[in-house]
Every structure is written in C-alpha cells, then in structure tokens.
A and B are shown apart, each in its own frame.
Chain A
Amino acid sequence: MTARVQLFLFCGAFGLLAASFALGQESHDPASRPDHSSSQSPEPQAPASAAPDVAAESEAAHVPPDPPQHPIRDMPYPEMAETMQMDDTARTSKVLLDQLEWRNTAEGSAAVWDAEAWYGGDINKIWLRSEGERVASTTQNAHADLLWDHTFSRWWGVQVGGRQDFGAGPRRTWAAIGVQGLAPYWFDTEATFYVGEQGRTALRLKTEYELLFTQRLILQPEGEANLYGKADPARHLGSGLSDLELGLRLRYEVRREFAPYVGVVWARSFGGTADRVRESGRDPSDVQFVAGLRAWF
C-alpha cells in the first residue's frame, strides 16, 4: 500500500510522464497484493490517470481500497435476502374492522359488521371481505368475499375470487371480479361484479372518504349500493338498484388503530326490494343512529 501511495505522490510531482510510468509499474506488480480470488477479482489496475501537471492534493491523498481477499460467493435472491436480513418481497398483513357497530333500525337494534383483511406482498395479496348484520338473533344480508388482489397500476388493484352469502334465506355463491383502489381526491373505492348460479348477477359499489377535523377526530362519509340482475325473492331482493346506504361516522382515534365512533346512516331500499320491505309493513327508508368501534392491526 505504501508503495502505491508513493507512486501516486510520484505521479503528482512528475505529471503525466511519471503517471504512465506508475501505471506500468502497477500493472507489472500483481504479486505485491495476494489475490485469493482469481475468478472473482482480476488483478487490480490503477485507474488511468489523466493527471494535470500537478495532481490535486486529494488526488494524491486518495488511496483506493485493496481488492477483497475473500470475495463473497454469488447467491440467489432468497439466500441473499436471508443473509442481508432485508427482503423487499416480504409479506405483510392487515386486519381492519372498519365498522363494528350497534344500530337502531326500524326492526329494532342490530349489530352490524364490515371488515376486511389482507395478506401478501406489494403487488399480490389475498383479500378477505365480509359484511352483514345480526337482528333479533338472526344473521341477515351477510356475505364474505375471498379474493386475489393484484395491484396493476398506481392506485388500483384488480380483485378476482368468490363470494358466499349467508344468513337468512338460501345461501348463494358467486364468482367475483372487481377493482379496488384510491380514486382521485382520496376516495377509497370498491366496485365488484358478481356472477352467480341460474344467471344471477350483482354489482356492489362502495366508497369512503376521510375528513380530518383534528389529527384524531375524523369524519368518515361512506356510500354503498347493491344492484342485482334479477330478483331473488327467497332473499327478499328485487332486480335493479336494490339498496343504497349513506353513512357519516365521526370517530376519535385514541390510537390510530383504535377508534370508537358515533354516526348516522340513511338506508333506503328500491324497486322490488323496497316492495318486499313495504309488504312486511316497514318503511323502505330508514335513518339509523350508530355507535361502534373501528380497529385494525
């Protein structure tokens, strides 16, 4: 190494001529540096130096490092990630209980849930969604979607999978395809199209927004609509636009992950579904007060 420093100083003093001499020396002098890595590291070659008449102070002072005595072997990415303890393909998960609430509906009090969970990497995830309600010890309007979520653009992912309806009425099974993502102006949006048995089709649209009053007091407007291709009397559903729900929930984030809320929901059924509601002596339009908890982990 000192030989090398001297060479650089020498080069600084005697300019180009000396530099080329130094280069010649360097390249003839591989033995001065033991090299255990013939295949990995060819013998070093001093950087060609177009030194000016007097090399800069730092040019003379800078000493490049010796080649590694024990170069590391090549390894495939998984082994490298393991060795580095750094893996940008690692999977994460999230469970979000967006709504876990009590409502005073026209039928009496109801417990309502709307939850989702995902597991996966930055692009591909398994996505589970479920919503439904419990009224007078019976489960109603409940379904669960199991989806593969693939992020295909900056803000949007395509979702493909299946949906199972459960609760009161016959169980329906659907194939699902949809998109979910962040629409302009920060609207968290889902649109899912379903195809079921006997030519049944359905469309579910949902969007949410967050308005900050303070860093912890947050108003969450939300809208959801369900449409059906054909009526399903056994589940009290008409065709076309079946129901629409608009909600406003004001939550306080005690922690980001834990936020109790109160709110108001306007729920309205339409068409054949509304007819069924009227037949049972209820009003297809209902304003409900809600209180619940939003939590995630």
Chain B
Amino acid sequence: MDRFRLPPAALSRSRRRFVQGLAGGALAVANARHFSWAAGGPATAGDAGAVLSGTEFNLEIGALAVNFTGQPGIATVVNGRLPAPLLRWREGDSITLRVSNRLSAPTSIHWHGMIVPADMDGVPGLSFDGIGPGETYVYRFKVNQSGTYWYHSHSRFQEQIGLYGPIVIDSRRGERHRADREHVVLLSEWTDLDPEHIYRTLKRQSNYFNFHQRTAGDFINDARKQGWKPTMADRRMWGQMRMNPTDLADVSGYAYTYLINGSTPAGNWTGLFRRGEKVRLRIINGSSMSFFDVRIPGLKLTVVAADGQDVEPVTVDEFRIGTAEVYDVIVEPKDDRAYTIFAQSLDRSGYARGTLTPQLGMQAEVPALDPRPLLTMVDMGMGHNMAGMDMSGMDMSSVPDMDHGAMDHGAMTMEHDMGAPPHHAPAEYGPNVDSLAVQPQSRLDDPGVGLRDNGRRVLTYADLHTLGGPIDHRKAGRDVELHLTGHMERFVWSFSGQKFSESEPLRFNYGERLRLVLVNDSMMHHPIHLHGMWGEVESEQGEFLVRKHTITVQPGQRLAYWVTADALGRWAYHCHLLYHMEAGMFREVHVERFSNEGAPS
C-alpha cells in the first residue's frame, strides 16, 4: 500500500463533494512518491478510496451532486467519485468485482481494453443482461495483461455523465520503461445538458454545437487573401456537397467543460514532481465525444505505451488522442518550474488543463488555442463525390459480384491496392450516407487535420511500434472490409451504410486470423473499438506496427489491422464516439466455430 500512498489530507473535504469548476477554481494535488492519482475537485486528495487495489472490489454505482460550471448537476458515478476510483490490479491475479446498482435505471461496466471472457465484458445485450436497479453483478476474471486501461458504463449515456475511471495493471516482470513517479491523466468532459437532450438536438439540428462555421466575413477575407475565383470555387465545392469544412466535432465546448481527472481548467488538476525525475503520465481519453491534442509546453513527451501495450519509445512534442485511446508518456522536467498539461479539443472550442509542478501553488502559462483548422480535400478521401447526386465516377457495375450484405458477413475477400478506388456496399448508396471516399489513403504518417505542419513534432500511428511483435504471426486468411459511413446533416451513423438495427453480426471463425480494412467515407474521425480482441495495425508495407484496442480512422483514410479471433462469444464493435454509437455505428461480432463460412483459407 505504501506504493499507493496518497496525497496530503490538507485538501480533503467531505466525501460527498461538489466539484468546483470555473466557480471555485480549487486545487487538486497529486503528490505520491511513486504513484498518484488525485481525482477531480478539491476533495479527492488524501481521500481514501480514490485508489482501490487488491483482488476483491466492491463498486457501487449511484448518483452524485456535482457543480462544475456554477450550475448544479447530477452525475452517475462509482463509489461517489468522479472519475471512478482508480483500480490497481496485478498481472496474473484473479479478481472479483461486485458491481451494485443504486440507480433507478439499469447500468453496466465495461473494462475497456481488457481481454476477458465474453460474459465479463459488460455490454448489455451481448455480454449479459445488464445490472438492474438494486442488483449486483459479479465480474470475475484473470488479469493476463498489464498497462493502462480504463472502465466505463456501456449503458445509454452514463459514460457522458461521469461513469468512467482508470485501470492500472502492474506487470509481473516490472515496468519495462522505469519511472520515478507516475500520474494518471484522465481526460473527459462534463456537460450541464442532459445527454438525451444532446442526442435529440443532434438529430434535430446537427450543427447546433458548432459555433465556428464560416461566415460572410470569412468569405470576404478569403477572397481578399486568395482571390475571388478560388474562394468561389471552394464555396461552390462545399455547397455542392452540402458539407461543412468546420464540422470537426459534433458536440463542442459550447456544451462541454473539459476535465483532467475530474478537474476543470480553472480547477487546475496538479501533479507534483521533483526536478530530474522521470515522470510517467498515463493519459486516458475517457471522454464521450472529444478528441484532444495534448502537449506540455517545455517538455518532450516520450511515448512508451499505446493502449496499454509497450511501444518502442518515441519522443514527440504533441499527440492526438482519440476517444477511448490511451497513451503512456514519460517526461523528465529538468527545471524547478511548473508545466501546463494542455489538451485542446480537436475543434479548438475548448481545452482541458492541468499542471505539473515541483511545488504547490506554482502554475505555468496556459497556451492559446491553436487556430481552428478546416477540413481539406485530403480529409474527404481526395476526389470525393463532387457532383453531389452524380455517381458516375462510382458506377455500381464496377463492383464485382458484391451482393447485398456480403461485406457484413465478412465473406468478402478482395485485393487491396491502396491507391485503387474503394468498393462501396450497396447500402452506402442509400439515403443514410452523405459521402463516399473516392480515393481514401493510408496516411498513417499524417498527424491529422489541425496538426499538419504546426511546427511541432506530432505523433502518428506510423511512429508506434509495439514491442515484442504481434500476438499471432500467421498471415490473415481473409479481409473484412467495412466503411465508416454517416449522414452529418441528419445525424445517422453506420458501418457500410447499415445501422446496427439493419445489420447482421460479423462472423469470425474461431481461431482465424483476419484482416479488418476500414475505409472512412465520412468527414469525421472515428475511434473504432473491437471488444475482446486486439487490433494489430498494419503499416503501409504490410508489416506489424502497433497493437491497440481503439483505432482512430481519420476522415478519408483507409486503414487495415489484423485480428486473431481467439475469443469465443458475442462482442461489440463500434465507434467510441458515444452519440455515433447510439445513432447506429455499432456491429455485433460473433466469434464461433462456423463450419461453412469464413473459414481461414
């Protein structure tokens, strides 16, 4: 327990705490020798229960009165905490978690990135029936992995309103990349709005939260700078597509207050260090709808793990972290000064902010938000469907022998020339898909919209090399190609043009090694999460790159990864943007010994 010694009690308050945000500007401090995790707000420091370790856990899901913005709200939390307690496990242990529901609604907990039996995975409707009000579900599994993970509700919008927390698993062999001290940095959002209201609002007016749209003034400025003709051509192109180049996030800082470990920017979560120490930051994106661009001005970030898996250390200035992704970085502050952890949202509508400091009370400058980026032709999969309704460039007759749903049964194998135009499923030509990539590109070395050529060294997937090689050396027996599709205007999201309600489960033959090819036809980033099995991202040369549980596919990108279907049962496969998932961007993956179809060749 000494290892998890907690910060001084000086800042603690009652357990039923009100997490002050802009109103309070209170300080949360993390200061353990080896490990610390001062969860949000003024009250958590020194608060027993912020970290739970061992093999037996009792988690109670209930409501908590909170106040992040000056407006009181009710969060859904674990053990009265937002974020939920840090669960510290040891690789090799068999653990038991009793999760009790004190809400009036059903609930669930999913252990994100954990390889556990299907009935322990926590997805209502696929793993189990969920946890009804007053009920307790006992999760039991053996921990066979190590690293940083997280857990969250898989029921409705509970994840949005506070039901998420970190998991740290100590390796039996000790850390490969040693650090003198570590902090969990859990990024998330708070909203005073009812998530049900947010979802309805997106269905009614999908650009509701976008207050960065192009105006008449922008048009005049652009025309002055670039000339009338190119400006007109640009507006004509977007107008024909009925797309919006400022559509970077569906829900913005208009609704969200961005949090680090439950602290608002004003609350300024603070982690301590001593000069010269190696400090490991376990950075988790536990938000529901936000991508963050993370940097610590003045410090290099050495990325040592991605999604819990150790990687060859790579040193960068900045990285983008998709919803549900996890990066462990090591920093070595050389000076006796404070540093700002700055995590701006992709659409630059706000930021989460915390401080690393050798001494309480010190702060560093908070950088200005970067300029708002615009989506470009690259983000549209190059050619895009410029003529709107005209699909002559993508004649369906050129699609070889593809019957409806073939993709969805995963029975389709095709040659993949990364430069070739993609094949779109028939359903993609239906009313619920507003764009089709004409020439999606791999672009694994593309830092993404808003980070290109910003003068900083920005992490890309091409920089990530998981140590120890893939978990399976066989070649993939077949390809399963899925397209990430949607209709921004009507807020409908799907895989290959089919919403979850319209789709059949993807069937993976037990034991097979297959290759999932994702083509992002939409103009948004999608963090795609397969439950129960790792995804091993393939380089452009077809070599193993990085093992992840959540894989971000950029707009207009084509990305392939290998999966070994060694996990029997029914699993969720979905976009981890919560409202995209609810709107249909979800599939069931069924791993079974299917005798007839999908057998590895």
Q: Is the CB of B117 within 8 A of A68?
A: yes
Q: Is the CB of A65 within 8 A of B388?
A: no
Q: Is the CB of B474 within 8 A of A80?
A: no
A182 to B431, CA, bound (A): 12
Q: Is the CB of B125 within 8 A of A42?
A: no
Of the candidates A62, A67, A75, A296, the one whose C-beta lies within 8 Å of that of B471 is A62
Known: A58-B470, A86-B582. A256 touches B125 (CB 8 A): no
Closest to B130 in A: A83
Q: Is the CB of B239 within 8 A of A185?
A: yes
- A198 within 8 Å of B by Cβ? no
A92 to B124, CA, bound (A): 23
Of the candidates B125, B130, B208, B471, the one whose C-beta lies within 8 Å of that of A59 is B471
- B576 within 8 Å of A by Cβ? no
> Which parts of A184-216 form the interface with B (CB within 8 Å)?
184-186, 211-215
Q: Is the CB of A89 within 8 A of B510?
A: no
A58, A69, A92: most-surrounded residue (chain B CB, <10 A): A58
Q: How far does the Cβ of B86 sit from chain A's closest Cβ, in whole Å?
A: 23
Of the candidates B118, B155, B389, B434, the one whose C-beta lies within 8 Å of that of A65 is B118
- B221 within 8 Å of A by Cβ? no
Of the candidates B124, B125, B242, B534, the one whose C-beta lies within 8 Å of that of A184 is B242
Q: Is the CB of B534 within 8 A of A62?
A: yes
Q: Is the CB of A123 within 8 A of B242?
A: no
Q: How far does the Cβ of A254 sit from chain B's closest Cβ, in whole Å?
A: 13
Q: Is the CB of A72 within 8 A of B129?
A: yes
Known: A50-B473, A65-B532, A86-B582. A77 touches B501 (CB 8 A): yes
Q: How does the 8 Å CB contact mask read for B376-393 relative to A, with 1 for contact and 0 for none? A: 000000000000110000
Of the candidates A47, A67, A77, A211, the one whose C-beta lies within 8 Å of that of B569 is A67
Q: How many residues of A contact B (CB 8 A)?
A: 61
- B70 within 8 Å of A by Cβ? no
Q: Is the CB of A89 within 8 A of B115?
A: no
Q: Tell which of B295-303, B325-333, B486-494 binds the partner.
A: B486-494
Closest to B310 in A: A58
A58 to B309, CA, bound (A): 10
Q: Is the CB of B469 within 8 A of A256?
A: no
Q: Tell which of A97-105, A146-154, A227-235, A240-248 binds the partner.
A: A146-154
Contacts of A68 in B (CB 8 A): 117-120, 127, 568-569
Q: How far does the Cβ of B391 sit from chain A's closest Cβ, in whole Å?
A: 10
Known: A88-B499, A182-B242, A184-B388. A67 touches B125 (CB 8 A): no
Closest to B435 in A: A154
Q: Is the CB of A88 within 8 A of B582?
A: yes
Q: Is the CB of B469 within 8 A of A186?
A: no
Closest to A1 in B: B142
- B99 within 8 Å of A by Cβ? no
A123 to B127, CA, bound (A): 30
Contacts of A279 in B (CB 8 A): none
Q: How far does the Cβ of A257 sit from chain B's closest Cβ, in whole Å?
A: 9
A153 to B200, CA, bound (A): 22
Q: How far does the Cβ of A124 sit from chain B's closest Cβ, in whole Å?
A: 11
Contacts of A29 in B (CB 8 A): none
Known: A85-B106, A185-B240, A213-B217. A154 touches B473 (CB 8 A): no
Q: How far does the Cβ of B71 sit from chain A's closest Cβ, in whole Å?
A: 15
- B570 within 8 Å of A by Cβ? yes
Known: A49-B474, A72-B125. A63 touches B144 (CB 8 A): yes
- B292 within 8 Å of A by Cβ? no
Closest to A185 in B: B239
Q: How does the 8 Å CB contact mask read for A49-64 relative to B, with 1 for contact and 0 for none? A: 1111001111101111
Known: A57-B469, A123-B431. A296 touches B567 (CB 8 A): no
Q: Give 8 A-B contacts (CB < 8 Å), ordered by A residue.
A: A41-B569, A58-B467, A61-B471, A83-B125, A122-B432, A212-B216, A213-B215, A256-B205
List residues of chain A with CB under 8 Å of any chain B CB.
1, 5, 41-42, 44-52, 55-59, 61-72, 75, 77, 80-81, 83-89, 92, 94, 122-123, 151-155, 182, 184-186, 211-215, 256, 296
For the complex with contacts A83-B129, A182-B489, 4 further pairs of A-B residues with Cβ separation under 8 Å are A84-B130, A89-B499, A122-B490, A184-B239
